[in-house]
Amino acid sequence: MENQSNIEELFINASETDSEELLNSLLKEIIECRKQDNPEIPKHIEFVLESWGETVATSGTRASFCVSLAEIGAPDTPLFRNSLGEAIKSMLPPYLAKAAFFRALGIRDNSVPINEIIHRFNNILKLKNGVMIYQYDTKKWAKISNIDEFTSSIAAASISGTSSYAVPLATVLSEFYFFNPVPETLKLAKPEKKELLSSSKYRKLMKEFAYTKISDEMIKEIAFYSHVPEIMNPYEFERWWEKTDGLQGKGSVARPEGAPRSASEARSIQEMHIILSAMVKEGKETLDISDTDRFIEFFSSMKPVKALKDDLLLAEALAMISLFTGKDEFAKLIVPLKGKTLFWPEAISSARLETLDTWGLVPAKYLPVLTDATALLFDRNYLAEMLLILPQRCLSNITAKLDESLILETLKATKTYGSDVLLWIWKNRSKSSASMQFLINMENIVSALSVTDLPKTWGASQRELKRLLIEKDDFQKLVIKNADGDIQSIVTAMHKSKSIHSGEQQSILVKLSRHSTELRGALEGEGKKLAAKTPERTVHAPLTPVTSAYSYNVRLKELDDIIKIHTPENRESLKTARAHGDFRENAEYDAAKERRNYLASRRAELEQNVNYVHKIDFRTVKPEDTIVIGSTVKLEMKNGKTETFYLLGAWDGDPDNGCISYKTRLGEILLGARVGETLTLLDDSECKVAEVSALPEKILKKYSDEK
């Protein structure tokens, strides 16, 4: 309890100061509390950030604190992202403080995790012409020759200077290793036989001149592809790497005595990958017959793979092994791997996406081989389940192994579809059946787009699916077609979306309406066109929630008061309570803290509300014979009495005065009903709509902007 009081006092002090010493102490305490999984820490962090507000951008110590929070894994909340963005903006040098560079950091992209943002930020601080870079995917060194802020890309020139290529800035910041462009780095990238460094010297220089944090494993991998095969072969490389003495003599390292170690005799997955890579480069055609048994022995004794990097190396190694073996031999040697790799879990349907990331990272040339291997190891149902979970780049290879009936059966058996499988169906629509194409409907699309916290590999398909919905005419036409005349289903599905904000919803529906006269009629308020299609009444709720100007302004003022009055008052209350001493028996402090939590929660709720709900001017509403929002409704009850109601916006409910929100159960019953229609009320009694008219002046005045 005492520790809890100490950390709370540190947070309160931090909300009022720029002291670097205090913020460093707080950071240490946060790290300790995170080890103990203290659930109060996220609330305290939000409190401090709210207290600081815009000063994060003007205080170097506060900006540095926000970045440090990100480095230790602070909770990813909208407030923290906003504060981190302001902090990073203030810390970028003027030549990097451009919109294109800031966008490449991914702060506004919720699919980019906080730790990745910090990784990119640390890299962008070193971004300038002449910096040496190494790309993991291509295994090549290059030099930044130009930075183009307009296209948000860099030009990478080869070490020899004979070629160059453009790379998106976000890719550079995320996937490249940065090095100080000194002469020693050139020796690391382009070693020479005559002046071959010792491996220990190579390691030392790599760590000394790397701008990016780099592991020992990655240093060895970079060293391998920088030396093999131009300077030495794989066997010579292993001998050189294991030596730790000084500078080697002139010429290449001598081949070790006896037969060189084969891939099947490797001591680790990484070593196996290195040897196999060299065999591919050398153009070797087959393995020794004894290698199959040794591979089986290696894979049988191997512990289950837990690290993604090892999993990826193993997948690539298997693809290379298949080049040197026959189908039967290969089928035998992979049997021990069943359930031992991340990319081949025993139960694919229950696997977490992040554990399957190898399928998204493995080079495309290896995907057919890896799929063939999967078909050898597992049955057709396993492959069919992969169709629902793997990234889109894998699906064509998988479906090539399955007949269409099994694909359709698998798709029909599931209730939710990811962006990847919907995207695959779209891209292969010329080959797929109408039943399969029918899955591209608004309900499935919204469901796929609503999935959050997707790993990077799957996030790309989600973004592309959203782009198709917003921009592609043919895609929009298919969505309209698959509604099968039920235009309201499109609107309803869009309403349920949590990932598409109200402005985008409106824009998408307008674009869809270009391909549908029915939807266009609904958007223009011509509900009769829809009603004529069916004898049942169609309820026309607005595409986005609406309320009166009066109620909207009430919420807006409450939010403004929380920010400008109540939160500052609460901070003062906390300071006063803190001055009373021991937190353990301090009821005033507990009350102030509870008040702080309420204010934070209410502020978040109000911010979401005012950003989502639109104001409506009831004076513009001209009802005819149908009940709409902003109309007076007279109901004739069975006993002959007449009751009058005013159907108003989402926040306008005042039942004592006859004002009914269209979001209530009674409001839903009334909305869309016509004069003469019989309605069943909440108590199961019946009534008839006697009259629909405009709102009276007293109601219009109360719920307007008029003061």
**Percent helix, strand and coil across the chain, each to the nearest 5:** 60, 10, 35
- Which among 431, 390, 427, 391 is positioned nearest to 408, based on CA atoms? 431
3-state SS, residue 457 = helix
132 found inside a domain = no
87 found inside a domain = yes
Residue 415 backbone phi and psi in degrees, to 5: -100, -25
Q: Which pTM was predicted?
A: 0.53
Query: Exposed, middle or buried, 390 (CB in 10 Å: 0-12/13-18/19+)?
Result: buried
624 found inside a domain = yes
**597 lies in the same domain as 582:** yes
**554 lies in the same domain as 611:** yes
Question: Could you read off the pLDDT of 400-418 as tens digits, one per residue?
Answer: 999 988 998 999 888 889 9
**584 lies in the same domain as 647:** no
Among 597, 616, 635, where does a domain finish? 616
Residues in the chain: 707
Question: For residue 91, what pLDDT is reported?
Answer: 94
For residue 331, what are the contacts with CB-CB under 8 A and spacing of at least 6? 376, 377
Tokens of 547: 């309320």
Question: For residue 451, what pLDDT is reported?
Answer: 85
Question: For residue 532, what pLDDT is reported?
Answer: 39
**645 lies in the same domain as 599:** no
Question: Could you read off the pLDDT of 357-411 as tens digits, one per residue?
Answer: 999 999 999 999 999 999 999 999 999 999 999 999 999 999 999 998 899 899 9
Question: For residue 696, what pLDDT is reported?
Answer: 94
14 found inside a domain = yes
3-state SS, residue 453 = coil
What is the rounded end-to-end Cα distance, in angstroms, of the chain? Answer: 52
**637 lies in the same domain as 669:** yes
**Long-range contacts of 62-67, Cβ-Cβ distance < 8 Å, separation of 24 or more:** 62/18, 62/23, 62/87, 63/87, 63/88, 63/90, 63/91, 64/20, 64/23, 64/91, 65/14, 65/23, 65/26, 65/27, 67/91, 67/118, 67/121
- Which among 141, 80, 166 is positioned nearest to 115, based on CA atoms? 80
Question: For residue 39, what pLDDT is reported?
Answer: 76
Question: For residue 78, what pLDDT is reported?
Answer: 81
| CB contact at 8 A, 370 and 376 | no
User: What is the domain extent for residue 565?
Assistant: 546-616
Question: For residue 498, what pLDDT is reported?
Answer: 66
115 found inside a domain = no
Tokens of 434: 């109408």
**570 lies in the same domain as 628:** no
**46 lies in the same domain as 73:** yes
152 found inside a domain = no
- CA-to-CA distance for 142 and 129, rounded, in angstroms? 11
* Number of domains making up the chain: 3
- pLDDT < 50 positions in the chain: 1-2, 245-258, 526-536, 538-539
Question: For residue 682, what pLDDT is reported?
Answer: 86
Tokens of 40: 């109060």
Q: Is the dihedral of CA 563, 567, 569, 575 positive or negative?
A: negative
**10 lies in the same domain as 71:** yes
**CATH for 568:** 1.10.287.180
Sheet of 678-680, strand order: 659-661, 642-648, 631-637, 686-694, 678-680
3-state SS, residue 346 = coil
**CATH for 695:** 3.10.50.30
Would you give the DSSP letter of residue 211? S
**581 lies in the same domain as 659:** no
Among 25, 59, 91, where does a domain finish? 91
The CA distances from residue 244 to 198, 308, 589, in Å, are: 7, 29, 62
- CA-to-CA distance for 569 and 580, rounded, in angstroms? 17
Q: Concatenated DSSP letters for 544-567?
A: S-EEEHHHHHHHHHHHHHIIIIIH
Tokens of 385: 């389940």
**49 lies in the same domain as 21:** yes
674 found inside a domain = yes
Question: For residue 40, what pLDDT is reported?
Answer: 78
217 found inside a domain = no
**610 lies in the same domain as 654:** no
Among 562, 589, 616, where does a domain finish? 616
Question: For residue 33, what pLDDT is reported?
Answer: 80
**633 lies in the same domain as 585:** no
Would you give the DSSP letter of residue 594? H
3-state SS, residue 345 = coil
